[in-house]
Amino acid sequence: MTSRKLGIAIVGIGGAVGTTMVAGIELIKKGLVSTDGLPLAGIADDILVDYGDIVFAGWDVFPDHLAKAAEQHEVLTLKQFAAVEEALRTIKPWPAVADSKFLSNIDGSNHLSMASHRESIDKVKSDLAEFRTTVDSVVVINLASTEKLAAEGNESFNSLADLEKALDDNSKDISPAMLYAYAAIAEGVPYGNFTPSLAADVPALIEFADKQRVPIAGKDGKTGQTFIKTVLAPALRSRSLKVEGWYSTNILGNRDGLALSNEDSLASKLKTKSSVLEDILGYDVEDHIVDIKYYRPRGDNKEAWDNIDISGFLGQPMQLKVNFLCKDSILAAPLAIEIARCLELAQQRGEAGIQEQLSVFFKLPMSKNDKPEHAFHRQEEMLLKWLTKH
Ligand SMILES: NC(=O)c1ccc[n+]([C@@H]2O[C@H](COP(=O)([O-])OP(=O)(O)OC[C@H]3O[C@@H](n4cnc5c(N)ncnc54)[C@H](O)[C@@H]3O)[C@@H](O)[C@H]2O)c1
């Protein structure tokens, strides 16, 4: 058992996943819930920080303390909410770095009005430095609303020198997600991106993380439909069942769904959700369709349908249907907690740059070569091997 105290600084702490992480750890500390749903519970306990030694802080564009935020998201049961309400009330988000150009339909008042990118970065760095005085180490996890798809191939993102110049020039192409990532890396704080937004995955920030010796991981948490897809697709491949088409659709009604009802944010999400299948199967599935719709009545209870058309021996066609009625934040929060514990361990071990062994947690894993591993069983093997080394 370790006794290091870990501070998780969450970008978007007032969100459904952020508040569920904080509430979940509080409920564990009080002994009111088990560690079910936390995939690393009981694994590498002697080297990962204890769940009871985790504390939280973070930024949000909404100023409400976390009790008010959690009440709005309605993820917790009333009993669970009552048990942690007081603890949640003590956490108030720091003012956020925000830019309506990258996120237009989420509009909160709790944001910085800095004159320059450099000033925003300095403020985020000082928030982190202050938080670090209260714990042994800090990790940043991005759980903010999905931003509009940034210009990925932008030349100023290709090298650290170019990015530094673009920061000095207050380039409008640099998103808040990138500013947070830059600030974390500059401050020597490990950074995990649970969202599809472009952040530490640009070459300039990968170079910066290597230079600063900071572990980074991302992106986009693999929680529901894509999780199941990366379990099923390797099995179909192993049995030589040819995938003729895969139709995936979702409805969700939380704030994440609202952000995704904006076409530009949706484009970011569809990009990370669509890339897995061909890589696993080794051939193109022309009729691979992924769709997400905002549907308010469901709140945080997402429903996902998959229709898979396959053909087998003698060319005979078959179908497989999956209907996953899941709870978005209940699946996501424990993964974000495990990512933070692993990033802390990576830093303890002196590891830096892309942490590919965390691929199992992401839809679009950051990889040191251009072929990320998507198959769930191989990703899991990679993580367990890393956890049990030494
Ligand atoms: N829930 C899942 O299963 C899942 C899976 C994969 C990825 N994600 C991603 O995780 C993120 C969080 O999901 P959620 O359901 O908690 O969404 P949410 O909308 O409830 O929470 C996002 C929070 O981020 C805040 N925010 C927006 N811009 C910000 C900024 N610039 N700085 C600080 N805070 C900012 C919002 O005010 C909001 O409180 C989303 O990007 C989502 O796509 C979620």
pLDDT at 216: 98
| pLDDT at 148 (0 to 100) | 85
Average pLDDT, the chain: 92
Q: Which two tokens stand for residue 293?
A: 């719709």
DSSP β-ladder status, 242-252 and 301-311: antiparallel
Which residue of 62, 107, 143 sits with most ligand 1 atoms within 8 Å of its CB, as the best mutation to test the pocket? 143
Token pair listed for 61: 């564009």
pLDDT confidence of residue 110 = 85
From the CA of 59, give the closest atom in ligand 1: 33
Do 221 and 332 touch, CB atoms closer than 8 A?
yes
Contacts of 196 (CB under 8 A, 6+ apart): 146, 219, 220, 268, 269, 271, 272, 363, 364
Question: Which residues' Cβ are closer than 6 Å to ligand 1?
Answer: 11-12, 14-18, 59-62, 96-98, 103, 106, 108, 143-146, 176, 194-195, 220-221, 223-224, 254-256, 259, 328-329, 331-332
Longest pairwise C-alpha distance within the chain: 67
Q: Does residue 72 come out as left (phi exceeding 0), alpha (psi in the -120 to 50 range) or beta?
A: alpha
Check residue 343 and give its pLDDT.
98
Q: What is the pLDDT of residues 209-219, one digit of tens each?
A: 999 999 999 99
pTM: 0.94
Q: Cβ–Cβ contacts within 10 Å for residue 332, how many?
A: 26
- For residue range 59-91, list pLDDT tens digits in order: 999 999 999 999 999 999 999 999 999 999 999
Q: How far apart are the C-alpha atoms of 180 and 203, rounded to whole Å?
A: 16
For a mutational test of ligand 1's pocket, the pick from 11, 17, 113, i.e. the residue with the most ligand atoms closer than 8 A to its C-beta, is 17
pLDDT over 90, % of the chain? 76
Q: For 172-197, b where at least 16 C-beta lie within 10 A, e where not — what string?
A: eebbbbbbbbbbbbbbbbbbbbbbbb
Query: Ligand 1 center to residue 164 CA distance, Å?
Result: 27
Q: Which amino acid is at 205?
A: L
Each residue's pLDDT tens digit, 106-147: 677 888 887 899 999 999 999 999 999 999 999 999 999 988
Testing ligand 1's pocket by substitution, the residue of 145, 179, 261, 271 carrying the most ligand atoms inside 8 A of its CB is: 145
Q: Are 249 and 129 in contact (CB under 8 A)?
A: no
Res. 185 pLDDT band, cuts 50 70 90: very high
Return left, alpha or beta for 156; rule: phi > 0 is left, psi -120 to 50 is alpha, else beta: alpha
pLDDT score for 90: 97
